[in-house]
Structure 1
Amino acid sequence: LAHGVGRSGDITAVQPKAPGSSLINRLVNAMLLDWLRRSGAPSTSACFLVPMATGMALTLCLLALKRRRGPEAKYVIWPRIDQKSCIKCMVTTGLIPVPIEPIRSVGSDTKGSKKGGGLPADQLVTNLAAIEEAIRDPQAYLASNFPGASYSTPAPIGGGPNTIVCIFTTTSCFSPRVPDRLTAVSRLCVRYGIPHLVNNAYGVQSKRCMRMIESSWKVLSSNSTSSTEPSHHSVESNGIDDHRIGQLSPPDFLYVQSTDKNLMVPVGGAIIAGFSNEIVKQVAESYPGRASGTPAIDIFATLLCLGWRGWQDLIDKREACYRRLADGLTAVGSRHGLRLMHTPDNPISLAVGLGGLPSNGRSDTLTKLGARLFTQGCSGVRVVIPAEVEAAEGRAPTCVGGICLPGFNSHSASSTEAYLNAAAAIGQTPEEIDLFLGRLDKILSEFTRRIPQEDNKN
């Protein structure tokens, strides 16, 4: 077991000198494939466990896709999600992120309201029109929307889809952002012949996220095998036509998930999965050298302990905790003049708007609320300050990897309302939800009493 897994040429290869770790690694990869298929993506053809956390696993995927796309490919179309590791995994590979700002939407679950009438447009959803604009000319899109980016280099000759490594989408995320519209993005991938990479970090614990991945593959596979007619774009339009005519095989499609976030094991592993044995094998072969076998042993023990029934029980409990958390936040919020943001398309995370709280007009007053929750043992809860307040206070936007994103953590450069995030992740219990809600109620009461008193003193 001490020898680790893999050989110098392939992390999934059997090492004759280490039969124990090789056997466990083979078993774990087979068990994980069955787990992903049963969890909602039955068409998944291959996967492997890589002893790196999610960000580095995504880097490995980007490098493999880059090699398959050729020397001209240098851009990654990236619907904005405010997590620094997502940006760094692109920059580390030497690729250029092309951020796509989200747009606001009411969401799909209108619950009797005609087309969402009367409901707030809280959700941040994928801007498909902007993605298509960026596909046609990524460098022009960057120059127009992010003129201060440090990598405003001339576009390669030809430009267009051939210069794009992939569209890099996200499923699990902090509310009010919701999972990207994977099937709609996949249609664009088919139209322009571009690979699709999905950051599914927390997503295996969500049936909705896994069904979205499966549906995306069906779009890619069915449309690609039948799409042999020229598109309606002209040949002069950045080479779009000649790239798609006659293409029968679907674009590359990979999705990556975290082991610690979904299976509650120590940090240090991720699962790279796909719908083509060839592309998954190429990613595995790109890992340099052997690797630690510790994540495989952790996963092996965990899956054997859980079994399928144990996993299903965890999923059912998480969904019950999500409903309990949503109802509880609605009740607590109403007592303090706050509202639960309307984000029905986010199956894990929730957000409570803090516009009804006194804040002295200062963002640091609200962030103290998050600090107070942390000191009371409520980890994972955070207060997010919007771009509007950030700009009003003259604060510089957060810059990561050479690109500056106003309102960082709010996922949007046009965010206007501060909010508090809370999530129902796997492993939680109803008792923990109730304990959190009680502490939140108490802290909000203290907060609303203290701030007016400080105003009077000032």
Structure 2
Amino acid sequence: MPKQDLYSVLVGSNDKSTVSEIPTNHLRVGLSSHSSLLSHLLRTLSNRTLPPPLPPTQILTLLSLLTSLDTQNHPLNIGCGEREARLASSILKVRGGLIHGIGRSGDVNEMQPKAAGSSVICVVVKIGVKDILQNSLNFDFLKKSTVTVLPTCTGLTLLLCLLTLKKSSKKSSNKVLWCRIDQKSCVKSIQSGGFELIIVPTLKIGDAVTTDIDALKALLDTHGDDVLCCITTTSCFAPRIPDDIISISKILKSKNVGHIINNAYGLQSSHVNSMMVGAVNKGRVDYVVSSLDKNFCVPVGGAIVFGPDKTKVKELGKMYPGRANGRVVEDMFISLLEVGREGYEELWEYRRNLIPKFIKTFENVATENGERMLKTEGNDIR
């Protein structure tokens, strides 16, 4: 039986309606929205950039169309012997989604043979995220690299980065230097991987708490080849300010020590983004980890990993054990298509414009209560 699209089925090869009650021009107008929607998808895949924001109805239609390509939704399939994509709840069946998951057991970035639609959604999300990072935030180092989207929180993603570095390292190093911030997640990610945590103390300059570069150098000299990498942080609560990742990346490059940047919610900061480019261009950066919920306003549970070395980022995907949950990718797919690149740019700019007003109001409140606001220049997230 020859392949036919919806237009040819309803209109026919002789351009006359096969449904006698409906005029051909009416069908043509109705089907034009369908073809327009698919053209947005095809342009995204071919141009590697996000389309203009789509209305929610079109996104839901596209999502339904793509999930229908997964094998569990084929009307002629029985699914006998299937190990997964079975739903016992009728509510879950209505909700649908990428129930086959993403990736394969050997690589979270591989295409899932039973889920063609889900695989397309994954590709669109990676294209969209890279488009924003490269063209909105000016991360030019991504032109020859890639992005990995993981259904794991920031801390667990940091652990995967550590394990990937450990696997590729030619040294038997097991120590991780960590520039201290008062937050538990990063500590747990290091210790749960069986690595030895070495805390780099901070330094107080005025009201701000920052990186003690001299202490870092001393620890690198003391522990030598036993150091696998250093984890720095760019997004933190005042009075802590972002680590001096440019200076640190230069030091780590000279010592041949790995560098992972915990950039949990730093994509919103133009100052941090500028530092990121400088660190990549002037020193060593292996992985940058950023949270999806904090930067893209989606439900908690996902992170992106990127860096200047495409091979290293791809190796990270192979470290993920097993197939991954598809809910995080589906949430990002919906948000990227509805908000668009320009929408996220406007959102981040709106937040940046609120900072002066916030500082002034906060300072007034402090003064009225006999207190003073700490001056922490360099932390534009607060």
TM-score band (shorter)? 0.7 to 0.9
Question: Could you say what secondary structure the match of 2:288 adopts?
Answer: strand
Please list the CA deviations of residues 380-428 of structure 1 after superposition, one character each: whole Å capped at 9, or x if unmatched. xxxxxxxxxxxxxxxxxxxxxxxxxxxxxxxxxxxxxxxxxxxxxxxxx
User: Higher helix fraction: Structure 1 or Structure 2?
Assistant: 2
- Equivalent in the alignment of 2:332: 299
Contact 1:78 1:99 in 2 (8 A): yes
Give the one of 205, 209, 216 matched to 2:279.
216
Deviation, structure 1 residue 71: 5.3
- Equivalent in the alignment of 1:130: 215
- Equivalent in the alignment of 1:363: none
Contact 1:259 1:269 in 2 (8 A): yes
Larger radius of gyration: 2
- Equivalent in the alignment of 2:302: 269
Matched residues, percent identical?
Answer: 36
Deviation, structure 1 residue 42: 2.2
**What is the rounded CA distance, in whole Å, between the counterparts of 2:271 and 2:230 in structure 1?**
20
Paired letter, 2:341: W
- Equivalent in the alignment of 1:41: 139
Question: Could you say what secondary structure the match of 1:290 adopts?
Answer: coil
Please list the CA deviations of residues 121-179 of structure 1 after superposition, one character each: whole Å capped at 9, or x if unmatched. 011111111001101113xxxxxxxxxxxxxxxxxxxxx1x211111000000000000
Matches within 5 A, 1:89-108: 89-105=189-205
TM-score by length of 1: 0.60
**What is the rounded CA distance, in whole Å, between the counterparts of 2:341 and 2:310 in structure 1?**
25
Matches within 5 A, 1:331-410: 331-349=364-382
Contact 1:12 1:26 in 2 (8 A): no
- Equivalent in the alignment of 2:345: 312
**What is the rounded CA distance, in whole Å, between the counterparts of 1:339 and 1:333 in structure 2?**
5
Deviation, structure 1 residue 61: 0.2
Contact 2:292 2:298 in 1 (8 A): yes
Contact 2:204 2:210 in 1 (8 A): yes
Give the one of 273, 279, 283 matched to 2:316.
283
Distance 1:252 1:170, change over 3 A: closer
**What is the rounded CA distance, in whole Å, between the counterparts of 2:352 and 2:183 in structure 1?**
24
Distance 1:252 1:68, change over 3 A: farther
**What is the rounded CA distance, in whole Å, between the counterparts of 1:71 and 1:260 in structure 2?**
35
- Equivalent in the alignment of 2:8: none
Paired letter, 2:178: W
- Equivalent in the alignment of 1:147: none
List gaps (5 residues or longer) in structure 1.
Answer: 106-120, 139-159, 221-250, 350-458
Q: Aligned pair count?
A: 282
Contact 2:279 2:285 in 1 (8 A): no
**What is the rounded CA distance, in whole Å, between the counterparts of 2:323 and 2:307 in structure 1?**
22
The answer to which of 70-79 and 330-339 deviates more is: 70-79
Structure 1 residue 79 corresponds to structure 2 residue 179: yes
The answer to which of 32-41 and 290-299 deviates more is: 32-41
**What is the rounded CA distance, in whole Å, between the counterparts of 2:362 and 2:138 in structure 1?**
29
Please list the CA deviations of residues 286-327 of structure 1 after superposition, one character each: whole Å capped at 9, or x if unmatched. 111110111011001111111122111111110122211100
Deviation, structure 1 residue 253: 1.5
List gaps (5 residues or longer) in structure 2.
Answer: 1-97
Contact 2:290 2:303 in 1 (8 A): yes
Question: Could you say what secondary structure the match of 1:321 adopts?
Answer: helix
Contact 2:249 2:285 in 1 (8 A): no
